[in-house]
Structure 1
Amino acid sequence: MSLRFTHETLPQRVVFGSHAESLAPEVARLGTRPMVITTRPADVLPGALHHREVVMHVPVEVAERARRAAAEHDVDVLVSIGGGSTTGLAKAVALTTGLPIVAVPTTYAGSEATHIWGLTENGRKTTGPDPRVLPRTVIYDPGLTLSLPVDLSVASGLNALAHCVDAIWSPRADPINQALALAAIQALRSALPRIVREPRGLPGREEMLYGAHLAAVAFASAGSGLHHKICHVLGGMFDLPHAQTHAVVLPYVMALNVPAVPDRIADLLADLPDLWNAVGAPRALRDYGFREADIPAAVEAILPVVPPGNPVPVTAGNLTELLHRAWAGEEPT
C-alpha cells in the first residue's frame, strides 16, 4: 500500500508534573505581567491580575471584558487554570491580542492542546483555527483533577474520547493522528473505570490526562468531524453543558458511522459503548435541558455544517433519528 498524506504537528511545550513547581518558571519564560484566568480560589502568582469571570461556551461579551482587562493592565502573558471554558476564554483574549498562553487544565477537555477557538453570540457558537490561540506551554498536574467529582470526571473523559473518535474520520484524518487517537482510546478506556473505582487515586488521573492530551493532539490535526459539529450547535443554540453533551451524543455518532469504516477501526470501536454502562455515563440530552421540540431546529442548523467525507451520508432523516435517540437516551442502533 502506498501512503500519501500531509501531516502538521503543532508546536507546543508540555510539562507533566506539579503546577506549584512549574508554573512560575514557565510563565517567566514568556512574560512578566501575567493575567490569571481562573474560577479556582487558588492563590497563584502573587501580584498577578486575576480575572474570574468565566462562562461556558465563551459569550462574546465575556470575552470583550477579559480583553479590556488585559489591555488596561498591560498584560503580556495569559495563564488559564481550569476546564475548557477557562482555556477558551484565554484563547479568546489571545485571538485578538496575540498574547501567549500558559494553560493548566483541571479537567480532560483537551482544549489546551488545540489551536481551535470558540465564541458564542446570539445563540450560535462559532469556532475556527488560529495559531495565536494555541497555548505555548501546557502544565499537566494530575493532583489538580482530584477535586473533579466522579460524574464530571466521567463526562469530561468521554469528551476526550470524542476527540479520538472524530480524529479517526475527520476531514484531515491521516495515519499519524489516527495512531495517536487509537493510543488515546486505550489510555482513556483503562483510566475511566479506575477513576470511578478510586476517585482519589493519582494513577488513574495521570493516565486520563495523558490520554486526553493524545486525543486532543490527534483532534487538532484531523479537524472537527460530525460529532463535534453536532455538539457545537447543541451547546451554542440551547446552552447545554459541554462535556455532558459530548458524552451523550458520541455513542449515536459511532452507531451511525462505524458500519462504514474499515474493519480494523470498527473492531477497535465496537466495544466502546460498553464503557458507558461501566462508568455510569450521561445518557439522555433531555436530562440537560434539550427538548424534543428543539430537534427540528437543531437538525436545520447542523446540516449545513456537516463535514465533507463523513463515512455515512448525513440526511435530515438519519440526523433527526440520531438526535431523537440521544434526547430520549435510547440504545444506539
Structure 2
Amino acid sequence: MSSRNFIYNSNPARVVFGVGTIAKLEDEAEALGINRALVLTTSAQQEQGREIVERLGGRAAGLCSNAQMHTPVTVTEDTMRVFAECGADGIVSCGGGSTIGLGKAIAYRNDAPQIVIPTSYAGSEMTPILGQTEGGVKKTLSSPKVLPETVLYDVNYTLSLPHSMTLASGMNAVAHAVEALYSESANPVLCMLAEEAVSSMVSALGKLSEAGQTIAGEELLEARTDALYGAWLCGTCLGLGGVALHHKLCHVLGGSFDLPHAETHTVVLPHALAYNAPAIAEPMDRLKRAMGTDDPAGRLYDIAKQGGAPVSLRELGMPAEGIASAVRSTLDNPYFNPRELEAEGLTQLLESAWHGNRPS
C-alpha cells in the first residue's frame, strides 16, 4: 500500500446500541451525574416523552414537548426558562433532528450533559453541529459543547417510524456518507466507515422499500436494526467528514423555496452523485461495492421511487422558474466539490431533478 498523508479527527461519544436498550437509561443518566433530567420531545411524541419520564422516576425533572424544525431561538429561550424553573441538571432528548437540535441548543448555552434517544435516521446526535433559526435566518455553528455525551440507540423506538419518513430520513442519512467519500476531509478511516454505512443503510432501505407496509416480525426488526446501525455510521461520517455539491444544493433549495429537508435530500442525491461520478473513480468503486450495483445513482433513485418517496422537486413544490436562481446561488458561494461546477451542468442536473427523471 502506498503511503498517504491525511488528518483524522474523532468525536468523543458513548454509544449504547441494540434492542431494548432503553432499559439502561437510568444507569446512563447516573453515569453522567444527571439527577434531574428535562425530557425533550416534539408535540407529536409527547406519549414517548411521558414513558421516559416514568422510566427515569426520581431522576426526571419534567417533560417539555415544544421542539420544532430548524431550532428557532425563541423556542430554545422558552425551554431554557423551563430548564431553570424545574431545577434540571441534564437533558434527555427523544426524537429526530428537531428534538436533538433543541437539546444541543440548550447544551450550547449551559453545557448540560445530554442523553439522546434517536427515533429517526437524522444522524444529528453524532455531530458537533447546531443549526439555529432567528428572524427567519438559519445559521450553523460547530462546537464540542453541543455533542451529546451518550447516544442510546434502541431499535424499538424506530419500529413505528412511518414508511414515507423512513425512506426520506434514510436517504438523508445516506447522503452524509456518500459525500464523506469525496469531501475535502476524506481519509482512509472515514472512507471505510462511509462504505459500511452505505452498505447497511441501502440494504435496509431496499428491503423496507420493496416490502412496503407489509414487512413485520423478525424481518422488520432485522431491517430496522440494519437501518439504525447504518444511520449511526452515516451520522458519524457527517460529524467527522465534510460535504460537497449535494448538500450545497439542498441548502440552497431548502432555504430559497422552503422545501422539506429530508425529502429534498432524497430527490437531489441521485442527481448530484451522477454529476460528480466522472470525477470520483475510487469513491464510485466503493459505492458500487456497498450497493451491489454498477449504477449507484440509479439504485438510489429506484429505492425512493419503488418505496413511494418523492423523486422530483416539482412534487415538493419548487417552481420551475426557480432553477436559474438556484444555479446562481450555488455558484455565488460554492462548497468544495471534486468536479468543477458549471452553470450548464448544474442547470441540467436541477432540470432532471425537477422533472423526476432517472439520472444517467
Could you state the TM-score of these two structures normalised by the residue count of structure 1?
Answer: 0.92
Where do residues 69-88 of structure 1 align in structure 2 (5 Å cutoff)? 69-88=82-101
Partner deviation per Cα, 1:187-210 (whole Å, 9 max, x = no partner): 112111222322551000000011
Give the 3 Å change call, closer, same or farther, for CA 90–303 of structure 1 in structure 2: farther
Kindly state the Cα deviation for residue 253 of structure 1 after the two structures are TM-superposed: 0.8
CA distance in 2, matches of 1:75, 1:234: 38
**164, 176, 197: which is aligned to 2:189?**
176
> Are residue 14 (structure 1) and residue 15 (structure 2) matched?
yes
Q: Give the direction of change, closer, same or farther, for the CA distance of 1:267–1:14 in structure 2 (3 Å limit).
A: closer
Whole-Å Cα distance in 2 between the matches of residues 76 and 297 of structure 1? 46
Question: 2: CA distance between counterparts of 1:230 and 1:6?
Answer: 27
Is 1:93 equivalent to 2:95 in the alignment? Answer: no
Shift of 1:74: 3.3
CA gap of 1:267–1:99, structure 2 versus 1, over 3 A, is: closer
Q: Aligned partner of 1:259: which letter? A: P
Q: 1:302 maps to what in 2?
A: 330
What residue in structure 1 maps to residue 169 of structure 2? 156
Number of equivalenced pairs:
332
Distance 1:232 1:271 in 2: 26
SS of 1:257's equivalent in the other structure is: helix
- Extract unaligned runs of 5+ from structure 1: none
d(CA) in 1 for partners of 2:260, 2:141: 20
2:122 corresponds to which residue? Answer: 109
Q: Quote how far apart the aligned CAs of 1:72 are.
A: 3.2
2:316 is the alignment partner of 1:292: no
Closer, same or farther: CA 53–239 of 1 in aligned 2, 3 Å: farther
Q: Is the 8 A contact 1:177 1:218 kept in 2?
A: yes
User: Is structure 2 residue 148 aligned with structure 1 residue 147?
Assistant: no
Secondary structure class of the residue paired with 2:74 = helix
Matched with 1:50 is 63
| Superposed displacement of residue 153, structure 1 | 0.7
Which of the residues 238, 242, 245 maps onto 1:226?
245
List per-residue Cα deviations over 1:48-95 (Å, max 9, x = no partner).
321111222222322232233223333221111111111111112222
Q: Which amino acid aligns with 1:57?
A: H
Moved more, 41-50 or 159-168: 41-50
Give the match for residue 33 of structure 1. 36
Secondary structure in structure 2 of the residue aligned to 1:49: strand
Q: Deviations over 1:84-138 (max 9, x none)?
A: 1111111122222211211100111111111111122344432232111111100
Secondary structure of 1:99's counterpart equals coil
Local SS of the residue matching 1:286: coil
- Matched letter for residue 134 of structure 2: E
Determine whether 1:322 maps to 2:349.
yes
| Residue 207, structure 1, aligned to residue 207, structure 2 | no
Residue 275 of structure 2 is aligned to residue 256 of structure 1: yes
User: Which residue does the alignment assign to 2:180?
Assistant: 167
Structure 1 residue 19 displacement after superposition: 4.2
Q: Which residue of 2 aligns with 1:277?
A: 302
- Secondary structure of the structure 2 residue equivalent to 1:169: coil
User: RMSD between aligned alpha carbons?
Assistant: 2.0
Given the alignment of the two structures, is residue 312 of structure 1 paired with residue 318 of structure 2, yes or no? no
Q: Deviations over 1:170-221 (max 9, x none)?
A: 1211111111001111111211122232255100000001111111112211
Q: Is the 8 Å Cα contact of residues 19 and 104 (structure 1) preserved in structure 2?
A: no
Amino acid at match of 2:239: A
- Distance in 2 (CA, whole Å) between partners of 1:325 and 1:124 is 29
Which residue in the other structure is 2:3 paired with?
Answer: 2
1:314 positional shift: 1.5
Alpha-carbon distance between aligned partners in 2 of 1:61 and 1:38, rounded to the nearest angstrom:
16
SS in 1 for 2:53: coil
Q: Tell me the CA shift for residue 229 of structure 1.
A: 2.3
Percentage identity across aligned positions?
43
Whether the aligned pair in 2 keeps the contact of 1:24 and 1:45 (CA below 8 Å) is: no
The amino acid across from 1:37 in the alignment is L
- Change over 3 Å in CA distance of 1:264–1:108 after alignment to 2: closer
Distance 1:264 1:195 in 2: 25
> What is the distance in 1 between the residues matched to 2:103 and 2:181?
28
Q: Which runs of 5+ in 2 are unaligned?
A: 55-59, 289-293
Q: CA deviation at 1:322?
A: 2.2
Task: State the one-letter code of the partner of 2:16.
Answer: V
Q: Distance in 2 between matches of 1:119 and 1:315?
A: 31
Query: Looking at CA atoms only, which structure, 1 or 2, has the larger radius of gyration?
Result: 2
Contact preservation (8 Å) 2:181, 2:194: yes
3-state SS of 1:126 partner: strand
The answer to which of 277-286 and 97-106 deviates more is 277-286
Aligned amino acid, residue 101 of structure 2: G
SS at 2:40 equivalent: strand
